[in-house]
Amino acid sequence: MTSGELQPHLTFELLDESGVGLTGDGLLDERERRLVVGAANFHSLASPGRTFRFTVLRGPEGTFPSLTDEEVHGIEWDDDREVVGSMVFRSLVHTTSAFSDTDGLIDLAVDVGGRAQVMSGYHRLPGVLGAARRAVRFTVPVQFDALRQLRTDVTEKRYRAKDVPRHSPVRLDRGASAVPMGKTPAVLFGMHWLEMGGAERWALESVKMAKDAGLTPIVITDRDSTHQWITRPELDGAVVVPLTQPLLQEQEAAFLNGILSAFDVRGVHVHHCSWLYQRLPWIRSVRPDMPVVDSLHVLEWRNGGFVDVAVRMSNMIDVHHVISPQLRDYLVGRQNIPESKVKLATLANLTVTGIEKSVAEKGEGPFTVAFVGRFTQQKRPYLFLKLAAKLKGQLPVRFIMHGDGELADEVRGLRARLGLAEVLELRGPDQPVGRTLTDADVLVISSDNEGLTLTSFEATAAGVPVISTDVGSQASLVADELLCPRHPYPFIRAASARIAAMAASPARRQEWLTQQAAKAEAFAKLPDARSWTQDLYKGWNS
């Protein structure tokens, strides 16, 4: 998509620009340009009718964008920021205030940050203690993980025992009328960030569905990120606002009021966005009639995660959409949320189109064990490598690791250190997952937490049995005996025993695959998230 197609902007009109590339060639790439537009959206909404001049900065590698936070109001910046653009624009958001020329220009310095990249939480740990933890984490990853899992045991136990406190409800059925509503029907979305992930993929698909239903998506993110996915086609035509915090306090309500006055917001759909969750009581107070739904993916034991925020804000939410039976049971059974407010609609088959079932018998080659997924802490690629090292000595076996991510260096390092270079092939995300699944005899999922992995659906579609840690809702898809403990050493023991059993007995492998297929078939009969969401948006636009 070219920058020209971004026009017309719904929230501002461009008066002049240099370097940004909204009207011609610029110094920014598409991602950076969209970040600048995101910042312009925010300021146009937060200060209706005003005229702004952006000085656009670019930070060094490893820095995040600064677009909406207090910092942008200063006109002094660090030595390592280069100026790559300048633009003047006027907010098109309706206002009853009359601004004269003497009110002048609002000058802001927005920073698009460094080049697009992802960093693990460990890479970001500050201070000496952080450096020490980082050192231990990367020197002895498996031992470190064993300790992490013990900590998870403790928090999980505590978590199971606690009742999440609730935010008191809003008792109004009408808010006092202040700002007139806009005419453009819209949906307000909250997202964590625009990076690769299962939750994000679903969120973007719902953004597209809103557009298909004739609603303009307004997409807010609240987490620092380089937002590589901001260029995704699903976001074309959406009003994207990547918040960087802390916002000026007075701008918070101004921003939301701007949205409510510029658009006819028909509903709010929160996908993992703490900022928006926490503003729901206010939104409910000014617009009690506006429907609010959220989509929940993962029950995160270690820090409660979004599910607990959702429970706390449940009085502001009409429907909690959950993608797994585990989340439904947690909300209804554990947190006592009325069944009528919890909608289970699954993402089965979100990514399986185009994956061929490999019916042919596997060739003569050695038994092939695959890992498909991002190389992130959550997916624990180092456990797969340890498992490979253990199996290498026992069986004629080869391995494929398909993915990329913040732990890519660690994966390459361990592959060499564990002597796996000969038997373990690394494949980048530029290659199709379908081919890896065709090559594989078994897929291993070593994650320490999951909702319901999309790769499990893909593997089932490709006729490949899945060995997985027994976390999240993996039990919904994986054969009972192929569910392995989450703790690293027990995981390696259990997974290697199952792989050895499969390699020795094709009948056994087939039996497990049949069980997995039966589970997938039963799961596929659960309500589907796509059609539920389509109906929801259709209702919002009727």
Minimal distance in Å, beta carbon 314 to another protein?
A: 15
Task: Determine which residue in the list 522, 531, 535, 539 makes contact with another protein, applying CB under 8 A.
Answer: 522
Q: Does position 526 bind another protein by CB under 8 A?
A: yes
SS (H, E, C) 326-385: HHHHHHHHHCCCCHHHEEECECCCCCCCCCCCCCCCCCCCCEEEEEECCCCHHHCHHHHH
Q: Tell me whether residue 336 or residue 514 sits nearer to another protein (CB atom).
A: 336
Q: Which of residues 122-181 bind another protein (CB under 8 A)?
A: 160
Token pair belonging to 395: 């069986």
C-beta closer to another protein: residue 395 or 475? 475
Minimum Å gap between C-beta 323 and another protein is 12
Selected from 63, 206, 326, 453, the binder of another protein by CB under 8 A is 326
**Which among 100-108, 115-123, 189-197, 467-475 is the span making contact with another protein, rule CB under 8 A?**
467-475
Q: Which is nearer to another protein, 30 or 156 (CB)?
A: 156
Return d(Cα 391, Cα 340) in angstroms, integer: 48
Residue 183 burial (10 A CB sphere; 0-12, 13-18, 19+):
exposed
Distances 405 to 198, 382, 432 between C-alpha atoms, Å:
14, 13, 16
Give yes or no for a contact between 471 and 488, defined as CB atoms under 8 angstroms apart: no
**Alpha-carbon distances, residue 319 vs 293, 295, 344 (angstroms):** 5, 9, 10
- Which one, 433 or 529, has the nearer CB to another protein? 529
* Smaller CB separation from another protein, 261 or 453: 453
Q: How far is the CB of 352 from another protein (least distance, A)?
A: 19
Task: With CB under 8 A as the rule, give the number of residues binding another protein.
Answer: 24
> Which range touches another protein (CB under 8 A), out of 92-100, 101-109, 439-447, 521-529?
521-529
* Buried b or exposed e, range 285-298, using 16+ CB within 10 angstroms: ebbeebbbbbbbbb
| Region class of 459: left (phi > 0), else alpha (psi between -120 and 50), else beta | alpha
The DSSP bridge pattern shows strands 263-271 and 82-91 to be: unpaired
Nearest approach in angstroms of CB 12 to another protein is 41
Closest contact distance (angstroms) between CB of 99 and another protein is 49
Q: Minimal distance in Å, beta carbon 121 to another protein?
A: 28
- Could you say whether residue 475 binds another protein (CB under 8 A)? yes
| Binding flag, residue 523, another protein (CB under 8 A) | yes
Q: Give the whole-angstrom CA distance, residue 226 versus residue 218.
A: 19
Q: Between residues 396 and 527, which has the closer beta carbon with respect to another protein?
A: 527
Residue 493 in the binding site for another protein (CB under 8 A): no
Instruction: Identify residues 350-409 at the interface with another protein (CB under 8 A).
Output: none
Tell me whether residue 477 or residue 502 sits nearer to another protein (CB atom): 477
**Which residue stretch of 122-130, 181-189, 328-336, 441-449 sits at the interface with another protein (rule: CB under 8 A)?**
328-336
Stretch near another protein under the rule CB under 8 A, chosen from 187-195, 309-317, 349-357, 517-525: 517-525
What is the 8-class DSSP label of residue 228?
Answer: G
Cα–Cα distance, 87 to 3 (Å, whole number): 14
Contact 257, 279 (CB under 8 A): no
CA distance 276 to 299: 19
Contact string 428-457 vs another protein (x = CB under 8 A): ------------------------------
Nearer to another protein, 336 or 394 (CB): 336
540 near another protein, rule: CB under 8 A:
no
Write phi, then psi, for 421 (nearest 5 degrees).
-55, -35
Residue 157 CB, nearest approach to another protein (Å): 9
For residue 291, the minimal CB distance to another protein (Å) is 15
Give the footprint of another protein on residues 229-258 (CB under 8 A).
Answer: none
Closer residue to another protein, CB minimum distance, 213 or 477:
477
Q: How far apart are CA 389 and CA 435, in angstroms?
A: 24
- Spatial separation of the C-alpha atoms in residues 153 and 151, rounded to whole Å: 5
CB 389, min distance to another protein, A = 30
Q: What angle is formed at CA 487 by the lines to CA 119 and CA 483, rounded to 5 degrees?
A: 105
Amino acid sitting at position 191: M
Determine the Cα–Cα distance for residues 515 and 342; give it in Å rounded to an integer: 28
With CB under 8 A as the contact rule, the residue among 324, 349, 376, 447 that binds another protein is 324
CB of 492 to another protein, least distance (A): 22
Binding mask 331-350 for another protein (x = CB under 8 A): -xxx-x--xxxxx-------
Joined tokens for residue 409: 């260096």
DSSP 390: H
Residues in the site for another protein, rule: CB under 8 A? Answer: 160, 324-326, 328-330, 332-334, 336, 339-343, 470, 473, 475-476, 519, 522-523, 526
